[in-house]
């Protein structure tokens, strides 16, 4: 019963204290859940309905740890959401640069403060106006890791700073797993423990390194020396591969491959364990945003507004659609829909039909995040929650 209440709370249906007692508020929360999914509103939970809740939890509902969901930079959340949306709650929060979520809270990062908002009530849980982020933060092990010249480590549940790392200047998003935090500064990648002690550092010959990506118990990043690097968790070089162009975007890990998108719009697919290039392709002269991934395709968006789906095996183009305005966010993909922010609103596309819908028309979109069975979207002046109709 406590688990049921906790899941319903994460989804935004249960607004009371988790106490393990099936009382009136739990009964009403179950009915709200059944109504949302167009099920018979009995107030009791059948095995099929438990299976729906389990599927949502297993899919990682409310877990959006990095600017592209996970430390593999997939941009994919395997839950269903219709492209037919309605406006829910609005918050007057301006200059948002990133959105993250974990369990029952949304983390909102602006140019001059960080807030935690309850996914259940919509109320502000805490606010930190002493940290000035230089890049989107990430969530790991109950900590919020914020590049702000120093690397600030906040408790995600209280907003209090536990450590401030001043070993170098940190202005790009970091990665973390277990007891280690990986952060790049200039051409160096550092590993810290959770208390901020340096475990190791690895220096490349480039002036800049991308944010690290994690997979296969390895660390992947690119340097301006035109190499893609793979290190083990002790800082040892596992492999490095020379490529023809500079990479500024983080590596992405999907379908047993490492993907790199270069400044000159080359797409490289590499073997993650040995580093050999499996394929490379250039099909646009326009610079790309971070890619996102669906089980059936890799999605690329360039600044001209062309949205291209590629096959993983051969880099064959599956389809192309054109946005009505300049894109401002990397794509976010769900099971049957994908979303892209633009200078003139949020675009929502059905994966099968590619039928478009536009929301928040006339507003520049700065961040998009699916959580609590809805979609959180920030404009330059507001944070808006969109819900399925």
> End of a domain among 15, 39, 58?
58
| C-alpha–C-alpha distance, residues 389 and 386, integer Å | 9
Order of strands, sheet of 383-388, starting from the edge strand that comes earlier in the sequence: 85-91, 383-388, 374-379, 365-371
Each residue's pLDDT tens digit, 170-203: 999 999 999 999 999 999 999 999 999 999 999 9
Q: Which two tokens stand for residue 5?
A: 């209440």
Is 278 in the same domain as 252?
Answer: yes
Which of 65, 56, 303, 330 lies closest to 173, judged by CA?
A: 65
| C-alpha–C-alpha distance, residues 149 and 171, integer Å | 6
Q: Which two tokens stand for residue 183?
A: 């952060």
Is 146 in the same domain as 23?
Answer: no
Cross-strand partners of 22: none
Calculate mean pLDDT across residues 61-71: 94
What is the structure's pLDDT at 50?
80
Is 313 in the same domain as 232?
Answer: yes
Q: Which two tokens stand for residue 28?
A: 């009403």
Is 9 in the same domain as 115?
Answer: no
Which of 256, 258, 263, 260 lies closest to 285, judged by CA?
A: 263
Q: What pTM does this model have?
A: 0.92
Is 333 in the same domain as 295?
Answer: yes
What is the structure's pLDDT at 259?
97
Dihedral pair phi/psi, residue 55, rounded to 5°: -60, -40
Is 54 in the same domain as 67?
Answer: no
Domain residues for the domain of 133 are 60-388
Calculate mean pLDDT across residues 259-281: 96
pLDDT top residue among 370 and 314: 370
Indicate if the pLDDT at residue 389 is higher than 80.
yes
Instruction: Identify the CATH number of the domain in which residue 285 sits.
Output: 2.130.10.10
Q: At what angle do helices 2-10 and 24-36 cross, to 10 degrees?
A: 50
Is 35 in the same domain as 82?
Answer: no
Cα–Cα distance list, 252 to 71, 102, 127, 157, 327 (Å):
8, 21, 32, 29, 20
Indicate if the pLDDT at residue 261 is higher than 90.
yes
Q: Of all residues in the chain, what percent carry a pLDDT higher than 70?
A: 100
Is 156 in the same domain as 42?
Answer: no
Is 23 in the same domain as 142?
Answer: no
> End of a domain among 58, 73, 89?
58
Number of domains observed in the structure of the chain: 2
What is the structure's pLDDT at 52?
80
Is 88 in the same domain as 178?
Answer: yes
Is 28 in the same domain as 99?
Answer: no
Is 234 in the same domain as 340?
Answer: yes
């Amino acid at each position: 019963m406590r688990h049921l209440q906790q899941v319903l709370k994460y989804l935004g249906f249960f607004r009371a204290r988790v106490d393990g007692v099936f009382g009136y508020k739990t009964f009403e929360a179950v009915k709200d859940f059944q109504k949302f999914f167009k099920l018979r509103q009995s107030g009791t939970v059948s095995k099929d309905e438990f299976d729906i809740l389990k599927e949502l939890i297993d899919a990682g509902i409310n877990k959006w740890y990095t600017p592209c969901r996970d430390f593999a930079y997939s941009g994919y959340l395997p839950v269903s959401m219709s492209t037919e949306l309605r406006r829910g709650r609005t918050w007057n929060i301006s200059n948002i640069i990133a959105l993250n979520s974990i369990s029952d809270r949304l983390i909102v990062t602006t140019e001059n403060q960080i807030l935690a908002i309850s996914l259940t009530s919509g109320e502000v849980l805490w606010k930190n106006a002493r940290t000035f982020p230089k890049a989107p933060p990430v969530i790991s092990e109950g900590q919020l890791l914020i590049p702000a010249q120093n690397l600030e480590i906040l408790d995600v549940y209280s907003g209090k700073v536990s450590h401030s790392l001043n070993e170098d200047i940190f202005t790009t998003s970091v990665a973390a797993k277990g007891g280690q935090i990986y952060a790049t500064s200039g051409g160096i990648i550092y590993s810290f423990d959770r208390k901020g002690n340096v475990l190791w550092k690895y220096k490349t010959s480039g002036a800049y390194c991308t944010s690290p990506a994690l997979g296969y118990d390895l660390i992947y990043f690119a340097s301006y020396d035109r190499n893609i690097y793979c290190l083990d968790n002790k800082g040892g070089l596992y492999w490095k591969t020379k490529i023809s162009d500079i990479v500024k975007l983080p590596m992405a890990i999907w379908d047993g491959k490492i993907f790199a998108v270069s400044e000159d719009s080359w797409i490289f697919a590499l073997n993650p364990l040995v580093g050999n290039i499996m394929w490379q392709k250039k099909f646009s002269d326009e610079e790309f945003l971070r890619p996102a991934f669906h089980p059936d395709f890799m999605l690329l968006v360039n600044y001209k507004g062309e949205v291209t789906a590629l096959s993983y095996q051969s880099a064959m183009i599956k389809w192309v659609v054109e946005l009505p305005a300049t894109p401002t966010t990397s794509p976010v993909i769900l099971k049957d829909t994908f979303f892209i922010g633009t200078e003139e609103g949020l675009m929502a596309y059905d994966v099968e039909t590619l039928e478009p819908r536009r929301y928040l028309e006339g507003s520049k979109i700065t961040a998009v995040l699916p959580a609590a069975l809805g979609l959180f979207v920030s404009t330059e002046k507001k944070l808006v929650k969109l819900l399925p109709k």
